[in-house]
Amino acid sequence: MPEGHLIHRLAESLTDAFAGHPVRVTSPQGRFAASAALIDGSVLTGAEAWGKHLFITFDAGQLPDVPAGAGQAASEGVGAPCILHVHLGLIGRFQVAEPHPVVGQVRVRIADSDTRAGTGHVADLRGPQTCRLLTVEEKAQVIDALGADPLRADADPEVAWRRIHASSRSIASLLMDQRVTAGVGDIYRCEVLFRHHLNPLLEGRNLRRDVWNELWADLRVLMAAGFETGRIDTVRPEHMPEAMGRPPRVDRHGGEVYVYRRAGDPCLVCGRPVSMTTLDGRNLYWCTHCQPRRRGRAS
């Protein structure tokens, strides 16, 4: 269930664990067995994240002939790179660990060719929303449809700004739109809006350019920190419960946040209860006092 920062961490973990080596690719659950067979034994050359999308590239150059019609990537022929495209969706998990027996519904297992006990790694994929093989061209098409990823150095926030500036949709909805900002999920959108005192229902076309610049810069900082630590911490030191004379909290998702999943609890800044509603089918949390409607309007 991760947001973009964890997908980037995952890409790094997979690259560190397997890049440059031939790997075993299997589908213990069976639902990916035919495709797994196409890349089993090939060299994993690297993994890359783009928003919440994960791409794992295999060098299929040394693979034997693959059965006709076994997959789109196979039609490229022997020798073409083959890309495993994964999107975890809401409930998927992809964990890199030391070798261990399969437990539960493992869609894909990637393992070192040398699986002697105590050596190597195993990566288990469970419950993905997307798990398929792509060609290089198909991967490019997926990326073309995505907006600016705050964790990528090559991200272009101008693309996101143009889409926001032209839209009558709420900024809360736009930040979650992967065609606008890729990798931002429910926690980061709720938290960054709070940190900038922005009302979630502010229309994109009414967002000031300087406020967008601040939002984008903050997303980059927050998500880079999340990439480093593996958790989402958004509370400024002066607002930490201890600094405010309150007992420390433990959030279920593992970080310190202002509003996410804190409905009814006192706002860490003003003390009024945090509000929650549903927007586009997702839970939206905010403080009606700290995020008033007028803030952010175009002048």
Residue range at the interface with DNA (CB under 7 A); choices 35-43, 55-63, 83-91, 195-203: 83-91
Rounded Cα gap, residues 91 and 186, in angstroms: 14
* Smaller CB separation from DNA, 43 or 164: 164
Q: Can you count the helices (H) and strands (E) in the chain?
A: 7, 10
3 state DSSP class of 276:
strand
Selected catalytic residue, list 52, 163, 220, 262: 52
Rounded Cα gap, residues 85 and 272, in angstroms: 44
Q: HSE of 298 in the Cβ direction (CA atoms, 13 Å)?
A: 9
264 lies in the site for DNA, by CB under 7 A:
no
- Choosing from 28, 71, 128, 157, the residue that interacts with DNA (CB under 7 A) is 128
* Smaller CB separation from DNA, 66 or 184: 184
253 lies in the site for DNA, by CB under 7 A:
yes
* Smaller CB separation from DNA, 66 or 86: 86
CB distance 161 to 217 below 8 Å: no
* Smaller CB separation from DNA, 63 or 83: 83
Concerning whether 282 is annotated as a catalytic residue, the answer is: yes
CA-CA-CA-CA torsion for 82, 154, 145, 150, nearest 10 degrees? 110
- The two structure tokens encoding residue 62: 């040394």
Rounded Cα gap, residues 149 and 173, in angstroms: 16
Concerning whether 2 is annotated as a catalytic residue, the answer is: yes
Element (DSSP H or E) covering residue 22: strand 21-26
Concerning whether 138 is annotated as a catalytic residue, the answer is: no
Concerning whether 237 is annotated as a catalytic residue, the answer is: no
Interface with DNA in residues 44-63 (CB under 7 A): 51-52
Q: How far is the CB of 90 from DNA (least distance, A)?
A: 4
Residue range at the interface with DNA (CB under 7 A); choices 16-24, 40-48, 90-98, 194-202: 90-98
Selected catalytic residue, list 3, 48, 76, 256: 3
Hey, which residues does 279 pair with through a beta bridge? 282
CB distance 130 to 81 below 8 Å: no
The catalytic residues are 2-3, 52, 282
| Binding footprint of DNA on the chain (CB under 7 A) | 1-3, 6, 29, 31, 51-52, 87, 89-93, 103-107, 126-129, 176, 178, 185-187, 232, 252-254, 261, 280-283
